[in-house]
Amino acid sequence: MEPRATIKQLAGKQLLCTARNRALITDRPLEGGGTDLGYTSGELLLLSIGSCATGGLRAFFESKGLHPQDMVTEVFFEPAAPGERDRIVIELELDKELLQAGADAIKAAATSGRVASRVKLGSMIEVRFAAR
* Tens digit of pLDDT at every position of the chain (132 positions): 788 999 999 999 999 999 999 999 999 999 999 999 999 999 999 999 999 999 999 999 999 999 998 999 999 999 989 998 889 999 999 999 999 999 999 999 999 999 999 999 988 888 888 888
Question: Would you say 120 and 85 are in contact if contact means Cβ atoms under 8 Å apart?
Answer: no
Treating both helix axes as pointing N-terminal to C-terminal, what angle do 41-63 and 114-121 enclose, rounded to 10 degrees?
Answer: 120
Q: What is the pLDDT of residue 50?
A: 96
H-assigned helices in the chain = 41-63, 96-99, 103-110, 114-121
Residues near 120 by Cβ (< 8 Å), separated by ≥ 6? 111
Residue 50: Cβ-neighbour burial (10 angstroms; 0-12, 13-18, 19+): buried
Residue 32: Cβ-neighbour burial (10 angstroms; 0-12, 13-18, 19+): exposed
